[in-house]
């Protein structure tokens, strides 16, 4: 089996409500769907970061892997990893990883086995999910805009490490303490000793 084509398609998925974080406001996420074709008609699908830069990197990588056997994943990855000098030709790890994912997908389809089986077998059937705790502005359908621990809790956020100061320090501290109480099952209130910390109650 040989690789006959490699292509990337950027896909932007809009968020139901804009997220506010340290780098600004996110209204959606852009990913790149990688399609790796073979001479046996099998198509491998990979996925990685989006954007025109990723598509250009895939085009750069394409001639180096055409004709190679997608079952020999390690050889393909090693070959692409030779482009490591950033001021010359460079392939980011997320591009190589996306191509590797597509190769594993082809291998699984060729052998009619799940990829986890090729990697040694699945050790679990479920994976816990966690997320950053973001502020959300209201979206076009009036979704988002949570500004209290209760509202964030109703949105089912699973993790709360820190929050950006957006509504003023006092209000933000109160919200952080409220969120910690809800998510970590330990009641917290703003500390009287230090207005910028929470204390367990």
Domains and CATH numbers, the chain: 3-118 (3.30.390.10), 135-200 (no CATH)
pLDDT one-digit tens code per residue, 49-86: 988 999 999 999 999 999 999 999 999 999 999 876 66
Q: What is the pLDDT of residue 133?
A: 66
Q: What is the pLDDT of residue 195?
A: 46
Q: What is the pLDDT of residue 194?
A: 46
User: Environment class of residue 77 by beta-carbon count within 10 Å: exposed (0-12), middle (13-18) or buried (19+)?
Assistant: middle
Neighbours of 2 (CB within 10 A): 13
pLDDT band at 36 (very low <50, low <70, confident <90, very high): very high
Beta-bridge partners for 36: 6, 44
Lowest mean pLDDT among 5-9, 28-32, 62-66, 166-170: 166-170
pLDDT one-digit tens code per residue, 134-152: 778 888 888 887 777 667 6
CB 34 within 8 A of CB 6: yes
Distances 77 to 61, 83, 87 between C-alpha atoms, Å: 11, 11, 20
User: Environment class of residue 18 by beta-carbon count within 10 Å: exposed (0-12), middle (13-18) or buried (19+)?
Assistant: buried
User: What's the rounded Cα separation, in Å, for the pair 144 and 146?
Assistant: 6
Q: What is the pLDDT of residue 163?
A: 44
């Amino acid at each position: 089996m040989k690789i006959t084509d490699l292509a990337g398609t950027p896909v932007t998925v809009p968020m139901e409500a804009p997220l506010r974080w340290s780098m600004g406001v996110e209204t959606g996420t852009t990913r790149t769907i990688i399609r790796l074709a073979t001479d046996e008609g099998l198509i491998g699908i990979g996925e990685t970061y989006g954007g025109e830069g990723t598509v250009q990197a895939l085009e750069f990588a394409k001639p180096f892997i055409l004709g190679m056997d997608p079952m020999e994943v390690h050889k393909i990855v090693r070959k692409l990893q030779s482009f490591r000098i950033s001021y010359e030709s460079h392939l980011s790890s997320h591009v190589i990883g996306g191509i590797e994912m597509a190769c594993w997908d082809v291998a699984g389809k060729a052998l009619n086995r799940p990829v986890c089986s090729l990697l040694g077998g699945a050790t679990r059937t479920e994976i816990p999910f966690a997320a950053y705790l973001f502020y959300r502005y209201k979206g076009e359908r009036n979704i988002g805009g949570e500004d209290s621990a209760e509202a964030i809790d109703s949105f089912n956020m699973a993790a709360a490490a820190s929050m950006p100061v957006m509504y003023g320090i006092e209000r933000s501290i109160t919200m952080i303490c409220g969120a910690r109480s809800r998510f970590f099952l330990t009641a917290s209130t703003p500390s009287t000793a230090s207005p910028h910390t929470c204390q367990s109650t």
